[in-house]
Amino acid sequence: LVIVLDFGGQYNQLVARRVRECSVYCEIYSYKTGLEKIKGMNPKGIILTGGPSSCYEEDSARYPRELFELGIPVLGLCYGAQLMMHELGGKVERAAVREYGKTEVLIDRADSKVFRGVQEKTVCWMSHFDYISQTAPGFEVTAHTADCPVAAAEDESRKLYAIQFHPEVLHTAEGTKMINNFVKHVCGCGGNWKMDTFVENSIREIRAKVGKGKVLCALSGGVDSSVAAVMLSKAIGSQLTCVFVDHGLLRKNEGDEVEAVFGPEGPYDLNFIRVNAQERFYDRLAGIEEPEEKRKIIGEEFIRVFEEEAKKIGAVDFLVQGTIYPDVVESGLGGESAVIKSHHNVGGLPDYVDFKEIIEPLRDLFKDEVRKAGLEMGIPEKLVFRQPFPGPGLGIRIIGEITAEKVKIVQDADAIYREEMDAAGMKATVGQYFAALTNMRSVGVMGDERTYDYAVALRAVNTIDFMTAEAAEVPYAVLNKVMSRIINEVRGVNRVMYDLTSKPPGTIEFE
Give the binding site for ligand XMP (CB under 6 A): 295, 343, 345, 388, 390-392, 396, 432, 466, 503, 507-509
Residue 360 DSSP SS3: coil
Burial zone of 124 (CB within 10 Å; 0-12 exposed, 13-18 middle, 19+ buried): buried
**Minimum distance between the CB of residue 469 and ligand XMP, rounded to whole angstroms?**
7
The response to whether 114 counts as a known ligand-binding position is no
Measure Cα distances from 355 to 302, 320, 349, 400 in Å: 18, 10, 11, 38
**Minimum distance between the CB of residue 250 and ligand XMP, rounded to whole angstroms?**
13
Of 160, 12, 166, 144, give the one whose Cα is nearest residue 85. Answer: 160
Asked if 362 contacts 327 with a C-beta cutoff of 8 angstroms, the reply is no
Complex with ligand XMP: residue 466 or 498, whichever CB lies closer: 466
**Minimum distance between the CB of residue 268 and ligand XMP, rounded to whole angstroms?**
25
The response to whether 220 counts as a known ligand-binding position is yes
The response to whether 221 counts as a known ligand-binding position is yes
Complex with ligand XMP: residue 318 or 433, whichever CB lies closer: 433
The response to whether 364 counts as a known ligand-binding position is no
Complex with ligand XMP: residue 296 or 312, whichever CB lies closer: 296
Enumerate residues 6+ apart whose C-beta is below 8 A from 76: 47, 48, 82, 83, 84, 85, 160, 161, 162, 163
CB burial of 351-375 (b: ≥16 within 10 Å; e: otherwise) equals eebebeeebbbbbbbbeebbbbbbe
3-state class percentages of the chain: helix first, strand second, coil last, to nearest 5: 35, 25, 40
Complex with ligand XMP: residue 330 or 509, whichever CB lies closer: 509
Active site residue 168: yes
Instruction: Determine which one of 22, 26, 154, 166 is catalytic.
Output: 166
**Minimum distance between the CB of residue 294 and ligand XMP, rounded to whole angstroms?**
9
Active site residue 401: no
**Minimum distance between the CB of residue 388 and ligand XMP, rounded to whole angstroms?**
4
Pairing of strands 91-107, 2-6: unpaired
The response to whether 23 counts as a known ligand-binding position is no
- CA-CA distance, 160 to 141, in Å (whole number)? 12
Instruction: Determine which one of 22, 78, 189, 217 is catalytic.
Output: 78
Of 344, 326, 346, give the one whose Cα is nearest residue 335. Answer: 326
- CA-CA distance, 391 to 345, in Å (whole number)? 7
Burial zone of 342 (CB within 10 Å; 0-12 exposed, 13-18 middle, 19+ buried): exposed
Complex with ligand XMP: residue 95 or 288, whichever CB lies closer: 288
Asked if 47 contacts 73 with a C-beta cutoff of 8 angstroms, the reply is no
- CA-CA distance, 14 to 125, in Å (whole number)? 13
Enumerate residues 6+ apart whose C-beta is below 8 A from 375: 381, 384
Q: What are phi and psi for residue 308, nearest 5 degrees?
A: -60, -40
The response to whether 226 counts as a known ligand-binding position is yes
**Minimum distance between the CB of residue 509 and ligand XMP, rounded to whole angstroms?**
3
Instruction: Determine which one of 87, 99, 154, 168 is catalytic.
Output: 168
Paired strand residues for 443: 452
Residues in the chain: 511
The response to whether 444 counts as a known ligand-binding position is no
Complex with ligand XMP: residue 142 or 411, whichever CB lies closer: 411
Q: Between the CA atoms of 403, 409, 411 and 415, what dihedral angle is there, to the nearest 10 degrees? A: 180
Sheet strands (E) in 282-323:
318-320
Complex with ligand XMP: residue 282 or 466, whichever CB lies closer: 466
**Minimum distance between the CB of residue 511 and ligand XMP, rounded to whole angstroms?**
8
Complex with ligand XMP: residue 65 or 427, whichever CB lies closer: 427
Active site residue 330: no
Instruction: List, as residue ranges, the binding site for ATP.
Output: 220-226
Instruction: List, as residue ranges, the binding site.
Output: 220-226
Q: Which residues are catalytic?
A: 78, 166, 168
